[in-house]
Structures are given as structure tokens and as C-alpha cells.
Structure 1
Amino acid sequence: MASRVGLSVAEDRTDASAQIEQALADIVKTTGAHLGAVYLKVPEDQLLRMVRVIGVSLRVARPWSMVALAAPVPVAEAAREGHPVWVGSHVELARRFPRTALALPYDVAMLVVPLSTGDTCWGALLQLWPGTRDPDPSRQEEEATDTGARLIGELLRQAAEEGNPLPPGELRVVEPPPARYEEPGAEITERLPEGMCALDLEGRITFYNRRATELLGVDESELLGARLWEILPWLLDPVYENAYLAALFSRLPRSFTALRPPDRLLAFYLYPDATGISVRIVPTEEAAVPDEEPAPAPEGSAVPAEEPPALSFEGPASPGLAAESGDDPVAAPTVTERTRPGALYQLLHLSSALTESVGVQDVTDAVTNQILPVIDVQSLAMVTVDGGRLQVVGSRGFPQEIVDGLQDRSLSADSPEVRAIMTGIPTFHPHIEDLRRIYPNIAVSPDTAACAHLPMFASGRTIGAVVLGYNRPHFFPPDERAGLTSLAGVIAQALERARLYDTKNQVALGLQAALLPGVLPDVPGIEVAARYIPATTGMDIGGDFYDLIRLDDTSVAAVIGDVQGHNVNAAALMGQVRTAVHTHASAGAIPGEILARTNRLLVDLRSNLFTSCLYAHLDLRNHRAHLATAGHLPPVLLHPDGRTEIIDGPSGILLGIEPEAQYRTFDVPLPPGAILALFTDGLVEVPGTDLDESIAEFAGHLAEADSQSLEELTETLVRRAAQAGRRSWGNDDIALLLIKVAAV
């Protein structure tokens, strides 16, 4: 490992905390990473917390210090699944982890590895490099990272076994290397016509020349130790601080132009390294920006130049935000403050978790599993209004008696959540005594020391409230109040979409279920099992169908098909196809003729949707199957000896295209004890994989059937197909029909 760097730790170097900090410093020095962080699992909260960081200050790191373990982000994936995650650029980050790219909109490359010993994962190690580096980590970087991660994992294990684990709630900074020079070129910079200043990793000014004070229009006494955007009102907009953050995270030069009132444009050039950022300030002769136009966004910023940030919260909270906050001066701050860019991106990151939610349960899960841990809230309840009473749609952390007390509460009740709904004003109580003083009869959880009640706005009205509980006193600064209030609004919009989805989805699924056979007929000589799984994304109705038609005492017909599309038209056409096939089969037509007659019907209907269909007439007396197919996937036959056969006979074109299309009937043996599997492409098709290979893989799974019942076998086939395909169900409907011929 590389030589040691300065650390802000105790004198005792045998302490596990100091050794972990030393290991982290050694790792980033060896790999050349400019930022490193150690995250620890907090299993009881389903959370990862950053406990050590090098390369940025606490203030900068804090918005990214907590990650829900269930979140689809690199740190959580590495800790959850136990494998390294390498992301070579911000473009790749946006493609693979869009929520992380939103929360960290800087040009960086990223490597995250789990911190594990044996079967225990303690957390994850994160490193960042500039996004301009090589697209893949070098062997030296990988080896140094692996060695360091193993060392940190072992130190964490030893500390836990000795009863002195690293506290997951304590975030500490490993100090950067010391400045290279005591006097950083003071005389040289005084001779330059440009303004020069240096910022540390906190963004504070550590050096400046006289020209900088002239260009900025400030007294020398104001600069040292201050942040530019705090002492200069015209640099207060978060997009300017975002340029600093972009340089800090990416370690790449950044620049922006700002208007110093009334009419002087200044260009700022930022040059970062491991110890801080050097800033050049140059006057520019460009025309001044009109007062009504927003300042231009810095290079590399995620905020577009033509409009202000969509969620840029400004100034102190409105008077309503401070209502009922008690007499605590911190609870009702008067300091004008804007939301910091890191907090802004973190809010966007949390909000994006809700964009992936579909139904009400999805929204509830996203809030309780991904959002609640990250905003450091111990208890949460979401209530909506239905028929003049409150309905709890989701909760976590509150005792059941508190949740039961909210359920069915009348809107005439005198309670904080009802008041938030009726007035639309959020309330914040840093101490629970504030709440008791206003509502002396309210039931409060003994674990709640502070709380907030946030109205949920959607479609121009208040639909409910979010109740937050903290297990210790919690002061709400203006930016946090604005962020929580806005997050409640995002939750409300997600709930509205989810309720609409659930309503439409229930109608859709009910219609689709009505078009499928409720109970398959009981036919002597065969055993049948079917499985239908509707698509789980979107609200459209699918067109997959199956049927079993009893023809006489010794013969039965099996049908499976897939109508193109996912909408009401597809479902209607599916019902017509099923009816037509059933009618022609009952009339005694042979398989090829049944498909030809059904095809002519669909052509006459002039539908622009096409249908695949497989019809199988099973002759149980002679142990033969007569089949015809219209562009459908071939069935798979499992022979009694365990051998599988993909029955790939002659196929006609899809139904509904050519009015005179012909469909050939072909025969295959159907020995006693065999299983015939009919299925739709949703079961086997995997993007990027050859369909024939996918069908062969499914046949292999069928061949592994043991003494399972046919019902159990359908479950096994669906589960194994999912595992083999490494896919998430929801892209297409699935229909599976298994028919087992009784053994002689």
C-alpha cells in the first residue's frame, strides 16, 4: 500500500476507526481516486450510511450520506447483491442508474465494491475518478481496491466481535493532504491582471490577491474564511455553487459567467485538485445579461441555462411553514437561505423513486423502503380522504394503536393531520411538547420526540397528509421544510396516478379474466394445469389466451394464442378468436381448417391486429396429437423417458393477414405419461437472446420435471424461466398450458 496521509483521528493508531481511515486514505492514494467513502449497513433501518469520506467536506458529503438498501443505485446494489459495480462515465451512470445520475450530475467514473467477510456484508466502498479517465479500471486499481476492501471488511468484523463496532450514525472526514506551500505564490499573483483566490474542500476562501477584491467589489476583511456565494448576493443562486460542486466531484475544470450588479460580467474559472480549488476571475466584454433572464448554467451542470431549476426552493419558508412551530427560535428561523445544490439533487433523487411506482402499494413501498430511511425519519404515515374520513394508505414505524387512531378519523376532528388537510399548511414541531400544548388530547407514540404534518396536494386540491415522526428533537431549517413540503407534493401526485392505475387495472384485469376460461373441463385420461400472468407494467389488457375444449369421450382440443398489442381492442379480438375456434372445433373441423376459417373471420373484421395461434387435437384413444399452427411458438413434448422434443412442424402465417391462407395439419405421437407444453412468448422470450435458444432452455427445464404435481410444475417452470432469463416480469403477458396423458 502507498504511504500514509494526514488523518483527523485519535492518537491511538491501533483503534479500528483510525485503521479504517488509514486504509481508506491508502486505497485512494494508490488508485488515484479523488474521493473515497465507506458505507455501513444499518439492517434494522434497511439503510446504508456513509461513515468515512475522503476528498470532500462533511457539508458536501452529507446529502449523499444515506442510501436505502432497496434503492436501485450503485452503492446499494454492491452491498445488496455482493458484487462490484463499475460505472465508467456519467453517460453510463444515466443509462444504468438514472436516479444516481440525477442526484450526482457530475462527470465522474465510479467503482463500488462490497465490504464483506465470509457470508457477512458490512457495507460498501465507493471511489470516484474524473469521467475523462480510461473506460475500465486498471489491474492495479482493481487489486488495490480489492486488498483495501478486504482489510476494511476484516477491521469491521474484528471491531464488531470485540463489541466496539464502528457507529453507523457518525460521519467523519479523513483529512486531505496538507497544502504544498506555506505561501502559495502571493507575490506572483499580485502582479497578474486577473483576480485569483483559492478555496478549500469546504468552499471557503484560503487565499486571494488584491485584484480579486477589486473585481468582486468587497473589502479584504470579508473574504478570508468565507464562501463566495455567501458573501456576494449576486452569487447566491445555487447554479453557481453547483459549478464548485461539479469541479469538486469530477476533479475537472469548470467555468461560469455571472453578472456583478449593475452591469459587469465576470468569468470564473475553477481548477480543482486534492487539496482544494483555484479560481481565476476575469472581466468579460460580453453584453450584460438582461435582468429578467436567469443566469447561465455552469458547464457540466444538469440545470438548463434557459430556465431556473424546477425544484429550486428559495428564501425562508412561507409564514405558513412556521405555523404551530412553538417558541423555539431555531424552529422558526429568520435567516434567508436557499436550498443547497446537494440537497436539491437529493430531493430529485428521492422523488425519482416514485416515478417507478405503478400502483398504490408500489408508492407505499417506495416511500417506506426507499425514501423514509434516507430523510432520517423513524416513523411515517400517509393518510388520504375518502367519504369525509381519513384512510391510512401506508405506514411504518408508528405503533399500531397510533395507526388505528388515524384510520377513519373524521375531518371534523381537531388534530394536526386534519388541520394540514383542511388548511393546506404544513406544520413542524421540533419538540413533541409543542404538539401536546396545541392538541392536549392527542395520542402520541412514546418514541416520538418531534413531528411534522405535511399536506399532500394533487390536481389542485389536498388529497391527504404525510405524518412524520422523529425519535429525538428535530429542528427544521428552511431548506428542509421546503424540501419535505415539496416531497409530500410529489408523493401526492404519485398516489393520484397510482389510484387511477389501480382502478383502471382492476377493470382491465377483470375484463381479461372474464374472457379466459374460468375452470378447465375435467377430461378423463388427461391431467391439465394452466397459468396466466398478466403484464405487470402499464394498464393495458393483453391478448394472450388459452382454452381446453372437450370434443368427445376420447378426444380434447388444446388452444393457445397471442393477439398483437396490449389494449381493449386486443382483448376484444382475443375473445372473438376464442369463440371462433371453439365453434369450429365443436363442429368437428380438422385443425388446419379451424385456423383457416378463423383467419377468414379476422380478415373480414378488418382488424389491424394480427394473431398467432396453435391448435392441438388430442386423440387419447390412439395416442396421437393432430396440430396446426398460425405463426405460434412450437409446443414442447416431454416423453415418459424424460426426453424432450420441440415439435416444430409446418407453420402458416399469422391470422388476419391473408384471406386465402392455408394451414397444414400434422401429426405427432402422444404416448401415455407424456406432457405436452403450450406457451406464449412472454414465458421464454428474453431481449438479446435467440428465441430458439430460449425455447431449448425452457425444454431443458421441462426435462428436469420430477415427481412434482402438474400444478407445482407450472410454478417451477415459470420461476426457472425467470431465473434463466434474468428478466423482470411485466413486459408481456404469459400463458402456459400443460397437458399430461394418463399412463397406461
Structure 2
Amino acid sequence: MGGHADEGTLPHTSALDEALAQAARDTGAHIGAVYLLTGSPQVLVMETEIGLPTQIVKPWTTVRLDAGAPVAAAVRQGRLVWVPNPQELACRFPGTALAFPYSFATASAPLHSDSRMWGSWILLWPAERPSELSESELDVISATSERLAAILEQADDCGHPLRPTGEPRALTPVAPPMPDPYEAVAAAGYLERLRDGSVALDLDGVVTFASPTAADLLGTTVAHLLGTPLWETATWLKDPAFQDRCRAAVVGQQVASCSARRPDGHELEFVLHPDPTGLSLRITPSPADLPAQRLARSASAGASRLPRADVFYNFLHMAAAMTRALNVREVVDLIAVHVMPVFKAQAMAIMRAESGRMRIVGSHGYCPEVLDRFDGQTLAAPSPAEQVVRTGEPAFFADRDELRQAFPETAQDDGMSAWAFLPLTVSDDTFGVCTLAFDHPRPFTAEQCATLNTLAGLMGQALDRALLYDTKDRLAHSLQTSLLPGSLPDMPGLEVAARYVPATRGVGIGGDFYDLIRLNETTAAAVIGDVQGHNMTAAALMGQVRTAIHAHAAVGASPGDVLQHTNRLLMDLDTDLFTSCLLIYFDLRLRTLCAANAGHPLPLLRPPNMPAEVIDIPAGLLLGIDADAEYATVEVPFPPGAVLALYTDGLIEAPGVDLDEAIDGLAEYLTSAPREQLQQIAGTLLDHAPHTDDIALLLLQHRANST
């Protein structure tokens, strides 16, 4: 199965396979895989595996080197990565815990030699094993890592390097010894006499044995079952929850159970007994009084729990939404929507450790008085939050007595009766705590604790990004504000209104700018422009363009010459960013405008008692493209009462809308806007903007009392 090897690589692939299989046998691991580092950018591609069902192999064939997965972390860190249980997997690798939500322990080790890093390999054990690797297991892992790396290096030296195909070889686990004929006949007779149905599956769910009773319960025949996946013959078992329980049993090597309803309405009970080679299913009719839908019930009885399918559904939605969350408020809202209702929590608070104290950065369900009491709580005194930050481990308290017993000196006076304190961790650093509070005492099952811990891992990563975003956003807008003029000069006979509106979300700092430069008592220069991009580089370049235009305009250069000088400056800066710019001189005494344009949207002029129209200015090249570019000037009347509108493309551009039609529409809005107040006109134009990009708007009106 899997990738094909040529004659030159065959000895090396065989040696690689044998080394992996031997390591699994020597350590008692039931699953193992070897990943090779390849490609640009580099990724880890599975070369060979043992013990994994095909359904699980496919999504894990390729792993990005920057992924939150143990096999990738082993390569990045260049050391053994040991994860002893699902709880620690959820804390350290929440993405893997989400995509692989089963109970296991795992060790991943890098494969490197003196010459290079070749990849990594991984082993899985049932989670019930000891929490630490034994000396003998560590010796096997170390020796096997050296052996695998030597095989890969030898193959490369021989001119036959192993190159993964994306179809890993699947090694067959060692099967138990074949029974003698007498034992086989006796076992068959034993199974036929049972009233329970018995079915054996391999790792891919293919039926290798079925008793007549099982075939009858499944509504088919033994002949139809043998050699095909169980859910292809009994298609009503093609249920994600049933297949998930089968995978959970194989990966965790734990007995599991579930129930499923046949098409005729009768319900069957399935108990799944795993070993490294497959599953044995015991099938019985369900009692008549069994609830109709229990398709994700664990084998352990007693404690109430969330249906696994519901938890997984919320996992997927929350994980997808968390990747889009930009700021802390959005993260808090997502937790309130996706976590609190599922676990029936009544309140939630997110706290960040900062300068020796816990600071609340977001909450839901708590009143302000409660938040005030806990905000600023010191980390020097014992408390649940302090313990979680210090240890990185979650803390669960089913009632007030449990909390008082653990922290007798701490009063959690928030009106609640049970709590889950979850660590918010990034790269093994616990920086905060998410507290979920419940208004009634409640026990926390092991599965619920593991689920909450996994969710906390997702929350920690999202919150870390959100905190960083909020910090950058504040800095960006502070920089944007400092680069734009704080105020515009007053000129008799001229009314001015300027607006800057950042994009709604997620765009970052923009390169839109405007300015008004007073040249003398009756003349001034208005400029508006847009530097390509939405980052600090664009903002910095915007500041340089504004400074250059201001300097050249102040010494009396014409609009065309100012743009030409500024263009040469950008060429000298050797920047990859281009800039559109519109520069207009106006003379209130002569009642004229003189304009030059470097690829910017055309301005609008609304003469008194007339509709607004476009000023047709020849569009020169954008600044920063051609050092020899020239910019023509155009002169038009600017009578008293006229309104001039300069704007950036964010005011008009929208997906699927023709630019000329958008400008015509803007002219109509300007025509119908109020005649007296320039600020009202600005508001009218902004009300009709698509707001998909930053907007800079500069309006100027020639008042009739100028001379």
C-alpha cells in the first residue's frame, strides 16, 4: 500500500519500515508514523505508518512545519516532545486536540544527523499508561531516532533519497498466532451459541468475521458482510458519530460503546473491543425502554455528559470563528456564544496576568460590582487563578465546599456555586485564566474537563492574537492621527471640512492623507493622496510624501512641478509602493483653481446653483513609477459659493460597481446635499460610502465675502 519505491530506494524503505515496526513492538506503542521534511516552504509528509485507520491517515498525511502538532514541534525544537494525556495535548497543541479528539499519549522525536534535519517520527500509546516514559522506552526512542536518520542519510548518499509521495505505506500490525483447527472450530461454535452478535473489523472497518447472529441483527448475511467495510453493507451505520466511536476505540485502545437505530426502528447496542489489529464488536438488541437517540455514549456508565457530536460541532464552529476574531471583544463574544451555552455556564471572566496582578480583559454574565472585586487580584496570594497561572493546569470545583477546602483563605464571592478555571496558554506560557461559573453545584466528568481544557487552548491562542491586534491597532491609529494634520489653517473666505474614516475592520493602518497648505493671504494648496498598502511602511511613506509636497509648494513651484519633484523623491527612496496624489492650488482673489493629478480619482466641483461635475484633469502616472513622468496642469474657475470635493477611492469603490458610475453617483449626492453647512455635506457623502477601505475626504467652499 501507499507510495511506490524504485529498486534503488527499496532497501532503504524496507529498513525504515522495519525500524518503525520494531520500535512500536519494543515500546508497546500501538500506532507509529515517520514524517519526512520536504518542499518549499518546508512541510512534513508521512512516509510510513503502522496502526492507523485510513480515515485518520488522510488528514494527517501532510503537516505544516509551523503547525501546532507534536511532530512539527519536535522538528522546530530539535528535541523529544512528550505529551502524556489528552489534557496536556489540549493545553499545548489545541489544534491537534480539536482535529484528533481521542484519548492517547504520544512521543515525537526529530530525525537529524550531523548534515541535516530529515523529519520526525511519532508513537502513540493508550492514555492509561504511566505519565512518564521509562528509561527503556527513552533508550528505544533515542536509538530508533538515530537508526531512522542514518537510513535516510545513507539513502541520500547512495543517490536514492527517499521522497514522500503523499501516499504513506501502511504497515500491518503483528497479528496474534493462528489457532489450531480444533481451537478454531471450538471458538466458532462458542460464538454461534451466543445470543449476542459478534463482528471483527480490521483497522479500516472491513469485516473479517461475522457470526450468523450478527448478520441477522444487522439485516444482512454473513457473505455480504465479509470483506467489505461494515458501514457499506449496513449503510445505516454510515453515521459520523458511530464511525467516530470506532476511531476513538482504535486510537485510545479503550472499550467503547454506542447505540444505533436500524431502518425498521429497532435499536442495537454496540460494544467495541479494540486491539492494535482492529475491533471486535458485540451487538445486542437495546432494551425497549432505552431512549431513542444515544449515538455518542461512552462505555463508562453513570455520570452525565455532553453528547460527543454536539461538542465536536461546537469545536468546529468555535475553531473556525476564532481564526477570524480580531480583537478581545470578539473573542469574548465567541466564548459567550459557543462555550457558555454548551456547558450551561452562567458567567465568564477572562483575566490576564500583568505586573503581578490579574487584570480582567473581558467578561460575560458578571455584574460590574463582582468584576471590580476581582480585577487587580494579586498573584502573590494563593487563589485558583494564581494556581492556574503558576502551574498551567486547570482547576475544577464542583461546589463551594471543594473550593473552600482547596483555598480556605480565598473568598470567591461571586454568587456562583461551581467553577472551572482554565489556563490560557501560548507556547507553554500561561498568560491568563478563563473562569466559567455555574449557579448550581455540578460535577465535572473527565471528558468534560478534557473538552474544556481543549477549548481553553483555542481561547488562549485566539486571545493572544487579539491582545496583539488591539495593541497594534492602538499604535496604528495613534500613528495615523499623528501623520494627518491636527488642524487646517484658517483663511478668510474659505470654509473647510475634512474627514478621515478608517476601514471597518481588519485592514490596519492606511496610507490615505490630505492637507491644506496656506501659501499667502488669498492662495492655498489642497492635497489628497493614497499610498498603496495598509501597513506601517505605507503610513511612513505617506508622511514623507506630505512633507515633500508641503516643502515644494511653499517655495512657489506649480502643481505639476510639485508632483514631479515628489515623484523623483519616491524613485530615489526605491520603494515598492506607489502613490496617487491630487494637488490643487486655488486663488480666492482671482477665483481660479490650478490642478495637477498623479493617478488619483478626479475631484468634483459644484458651482453655485448648478449640479456638481467632474473636473477633467489629465491623469499622470502614479508617483513612484517613472522618474521622468510629467504632470500637466489645468486651470478652472472657482467662483464664490462653489464647493470643491477631494476624496480617496474608499469613498466610491465597491465590488462590482463601475468606477465612472460611482463617481457620477457621488456627483449626484453632492448636488443634492445641503447648500449651507459643509460638515453636513461631508456627512451626506460619507453616509453613502461603501466603507470597504479607508476614506479621506476634503471639502472646500469659496465664501462670497472674499475679495
Moved over 6 A (4+): 207-214, 221-225, 240-243, 254-261, 271-279, 313-317
Find the partner of 2:450 among 477, 482, 501. 482
Q: Deviation per CA, 1:483-525, whole angstroms, max 9, x where unpaired?
A: 2111112111112112222333333333333222121111221
Q: Which among 568, 585, 593 is matched to residue 617 of structure 1?
A: 585
**Separation in 2, partners of 1:733, 1:500:** 22
User: What's the counterpart of residue 702 of structure 2?
Assistant: 741
Q: CA deviation at 1:668?
A: 2.4
| Residue 245 (structure 1) aligned with residue 206 (structure 2) | no
Measure the CA separation in 1 of the matches of 2:402 and 2:214. 42
Residues 375-394 of structure 1 aligned to structure 2 (within 5 Å) = 375-394=343-362
Give 1:704 shift. Answer: 3.2
Choose the corresponding residue for 1:568, options 513, 518, 536: 536
Aligned to 1:346: 314
Alpha-carbon deviation of 1:582? Answer: 1.1
CA contact (8 A) 1:399 1:445 kept: no
Q: How far is 1:561 from its partner? A: 0.7
The question of whether the paired residues in 1 share the 8 Å contact of 2:318 and 2:334 is answered with no
Distance in 2, matches of 1:503 and 1:516, equals 20
Corresponding position of 1:556: 524
Give the unaligned 5+ runs of structure 1.
1-101, 104-206, 226-234, 249-253, 262-270, 282-288, 295-312, 318-328, 723-728
Distance verdict in 2 for CA 1:643–1:420, change over 3 Å? same
Find the residue that maps to 1:479 and give its secondary structure: helix
1:308 aligned residue: none
Tell me the CA shift for residue 405 of structure 1.
1.9
Deviation at 1:452, TM superposition (A): 1.3
The equivalent of 1:53 in structure 2 is none
Q: Which range moved further: 459-468 or 694-703? A: 694-703
The CA distance in 2 between the partners of 1:565 and 1:346, in whole Å, is 36
SS in 2 for 1:419: helix
Q: CA deviation at 1:354?
A: 1.9
Query: 1:71-98: CA deviations, max 9, x gaps?
Result: xxxxxxxxxxxxxxxxxxxxxxxxxxxx
Matched, 1:494 2:462: yes
Q: Which residue of 2 aligns with 1:69?
A: none
Question: Matches of residues 723-734 of structure 1 in structure 2 within 5 Å?
Answer: 729=691, 732-734=693-695
Deviation, 1:276, is 6.5
- Sort the Cα spacing of 1:590 and 1:648 in 2 relative to 1 into closer, same or farther, 3 A: same
CA distance, structure 1, for counterparts of residue 688 and residue 448 of structure 2: 46
The residue type paired with residue 460 of structure 2 is: A
- Is the alpha carbon distance of 1:242 and 1:371 closer, same or farther for their aligned partners in structure 2, counting shifts above 3 Å? farther
Residue 215 (structure 1) shift: 5.8
Equivalent residue for 2:383? 415
TM-score, normalised to structure 1's length? 0.55
Q: 2:651 aligns with which of 675, 683, 695?
A: 683
Q: Which amino acid aligns with 2:587?
A: D
Query: Alpha carbons of 1:637 and 1:278: their partners in 2 closer, same or farther (altered >3 Å)?
Result: farther
Confirm or deny: 8 A CA contact 1:357 1:498 kept in the other structure.
Answer: yes
Decide which of 545, 564, 568 is 2:513's aligned counterpart. Answer: 545
**More deviation in 409-418 or 444-453?**
444-453
Which residue of structure 2 lines up, in the alignment, with residue 52 of structure 1? none
Structure 1 residues 408 and 733, CA, compared in 2 at 3 Å: closer, same or farther? same
**What pairs up with 1:663-674 in 2 under 5 angstroms?**
663-674=631-642
- The TM-score with structure 2 as length reference comes to 0.58
Contact 2:370 2:414 in 1 (8 A): no
Q: Which amino acid aligns with 2:238?
A: Y
Shift of 1:531: 1.5
For the pair 1:588 / 2:582, whether they are aligned, the reply is no
* Amino acid aligned to 1:740: Q
What is the distance in 1 between the residues matched to 2:618 and 2:535?
A: 30
Change (3 A) 1:210 1:540: closer
Q: What are the superposed Cα offsets for residues 528-568 of structure 1, whole Å, 9 maximum, x if unpaired? A: 12122334555754221111000111111110011122333
Q: Distance in 2 between matches of 1:657 and 1:566?
A: 19
Inter-CA distance 432–642: structure 2 relative to 1 (3 Å threshold): farther
Q: What are the superposed Cα offsets for residues 618-657 of structure 1, whole Å, 9 maximum, x if unpaired?
A: 1112222111111100112233326221223221111122
Any conservation in 2 of the 1:624–1:667 contact (CA below 8 Å)?
yes
Q: For residues 488 and 615 of structure 1, do their structure 2 counterparts lie closer, same or farther at Cα, with a shift above 3 Å needed?
A: same
Q: Distance in 2 between the 1:386 and 1:247 partners?
A: 43
Aligned twin of 2:471: 503
- For residues 494 and 469 of structure 1, the distance between their equivalents in structure 2, rounded to whole angstroms, comes to 21
Distance in 2 (alpha carbons) for counterparts of 1:416 and 1:354: 26
Matched residue SS, 2:372: helix
2:197–2:217 Cα contact (<8 Å) kept: no
* 8 A contact 1:358–1:501 mirrored in 2: yes
Structure 1 residues 720-744: Cα deviation after superposition (integer angstroms, max 9, x where no partner)? 213xxxxxx4x53221111122134
For the pair 1:599 / 2:567, whether they are aligned, the reply is yes
Q: Identify if the C-alpha distance between structure 1 residues 368 and 672 changes in structure 2 by more than 3 Å, giving closer, same or farther.
A: farther
2:674–2:680 Cα contact (<8 Å) kept: no
Among candidates 624, 634, 638, match of residue 606 of structure 2: 638
Q: Which residue number corresponds to residue 398 of structure 1? A: 366
Look up the SS of the partner of 1:687 in the other structure.
Answer: coil
Q: Which amino acid aligns with 1:244?
A: K
Output one character per residue of 1:92-118: Cα deviation in whole Å (capped at 9) or x when no partner.
xxxxxxxxxx99xxxxxxxxxxxxxxx
Contact (CA 8 Å) 2:516, 2:527: kept in 1 or not?
A: yes
Letter in 2 for 1:605: L
Tell whether 2:329 aligns with 1:361. yes
The 5 Å alignment of 1:642-657 reads 643-657=611-625
Q: How far did residue 379 of structure 1 move?
A: 0.5
SS of the aligned residue for 1:542 comes to: coil
- One-letter identity of the residue aligned with 2:327: G
How many residues align structurally? 467
Aligned to 2:596: 628
Letter in 2 for 1:695: I
Q: 1:625 to 1:419 in 2, by over 3 A?
A: same
Q: In structure 1, the residue corresponding to 2:444 is in which secondary structure?
A: coil
The within-5 A match list for 1:19-418 is 244-245=238-239, 291=276, 340-368=308-336, 371-418=339-386
User: Is the 2:199–2:210 contact (alpha carbons within 8 Å) kept by the matching residues of 1?
Assistant: no
1:457 aligns with 2:425: yes
Tell me, in whole angstroms, the C-alpha distance in 1 between the residues paired with 2:571 and 2:412: 67
| Maintained 8 Å contact 1:247/1:272 | no
C-alpha distance after superposition, 1:21-67 (max 9, x if no partner): xxxxxxxxxxxxxxxxxxxxxxxxxxxxxxxxxxxxxxxxxxxxxxx
Tell me by how many angstroms 1:357 deviates. 1.6
State the distance in 2 between where 1:450 and 1:695 align. Answer: 60
Superposition deviation, residue 573 in structure 1 = 2.3
CA RMSD of aligned residues (A): 4.5
Q: Judging changes above 3 Å, is the alpha-carbon distance between structure 1 residues 644 and 244 closer, same or farther for their aligned structure 2 residues?
A: same
